[in-house]
Amino acid sequence: MTLLSLFLQLQVGDPTAVPAGSPAAADSAVTAANQAVAEASGLSLIDLVIAGGWIMVPLFLLLFLTVYIMLERYLTIRKAGAVPESFMPGIGNLMVKGDLQGAKMLCAQNPTPLARMIEKGIRRVGLPLSEIETSVENVGKIEIARLEKNINVLGIVAGIAPMLGFVGTIIGVIKIFYAISSTGDFGIAQISGGLYTKMVTSAAGLIIGIIAHIGYHWLSIMVERMVFRMEHSAVEFMDILQDN
């Protein structure tokens, strides 16, 4: 009698249970998935930043510094390179005519590093060519140093930001272990806060580091192009002096 009862129970099973392959089970799974998506989509960017903790404050300061330097240097370098193509031919024509005052006026009308460098050479006309060349090179070095101002800061930010993100990762792990040790339980409630801090700070640090790294090399390329143009103009100016 006992074996027969067990056999019948195995055949009939729990009347309230939902078979794994039934439509009801599929609907339950879809409902659970929709709820999970809704909860995830309800998490805003501000919530993520808050979940990152206090380490997000220096990261946002680094982001602000990076954006400011990139915009300020970009506008400065673009303005420095705004020299008309007719500038050096105009200088050459005036030098051939011996109109040094007109050449100085042309330089004054173009307040750019290249024009200031050429103007320095014009003011040294009458001295040996070696001294003129040295003066032009010195002014060029000063102007290039001005263009490169604060670009190296981007390289520093590119190294510091991921490191701060890693600090946030360590803080998140510490929070997880502290929650586990305080409650004596290992569950989602204990690890969720630390995981948010860990992942958000790591992602923020990497993103800011990538932006700073791109900005550093981008601006460096712009400065290199400006250096090449200034060197080419300096050689052209010295050729004009030697020919005359």
Amino acid, res. 169 = T
Average pLDDT over residues 155-161: 93
Give the model's pLDDT for residue 169: 77
Per-residue confidence (pLDDT) for residue 170, from 0 to 100 = 77
Residue 127: strand pairing partners: 125
The mean per-residue pLDDT over the stretch 189-194 comes to 57
Q: What is the pLDDT of residue 144?
A: 93
The residue-averaged pLDDT of 38-47 equals 53
Least confident window among 30-44, 168-182, 220-234: 30-44
**pLDDT over 80 at 60, yes or no:** yes
Q: Is a pLDDT exceeding 70 seen at residue 157? A: yes
Q: Considering the chain, what is the average pLDDT of its residues?
A: 77
44 vs 126 pLDDT, higher one: 126
Q: Residue 191: what pLDDT?
A: 62
| pLDDT (average), residues 18-45 | 44
Which comes out higher in pLDDT, residue 54 or 223? 223
Position 240 scores a pLDDT of 86
151 pLDDT above the threshold of 70: yes
pTM for the model: 0.71
Do the beta carbons of residue 239 and residue 121 sit within 8 Å?
no
pLDDT of residue 223: 94
DSSP per-residue string spanning 20-86: TTSHHHHHHHHHHHHHHHHHHHT--HHHHHHHH-TTHHHHHHHHHHHHHHHHHHHHHHHHHT---TT
Rounded to whole angstroms, the Cα distance separating 196 from 49 reads 9
pLDDT, residue 10, reads 38
Mean pLDDT of 168-187: 69
Two tokens at 244?
């005359």
For residue 75, name the pLDDT band (cuts at 50, 70, 90): very high
Report, in angstroms and rounded to the nearest whole number, the Rg of the chain calculated over CA atoms: 34
Q: Please say if the pLDDT value at position 189 is more than 90.
A: no
| Strands, E assignment, the chain | none
The yes-or-no verdict on residue 24 having pLDDT over 60 is no
Gap between the Cα atoms of 166 and 206, Å rounded:
9
Tell me, what's the pLDDT at 22? Answer: 44
Residue 227 has pLDDT above 60, yes or no: yes
Look at residue 138 in the predicted model and tell me its pLDDT.
Answer: 92
**Which pairs count as long-range contacts for 223-227, CB under 8 Å and 24+ apart, including other chains?**
223/77, 223/144, 223/147, 223/148, 223/151, 225/81, 226/77, 226/80, 226/81, 226/113, 226/144, 226/147, 227/144
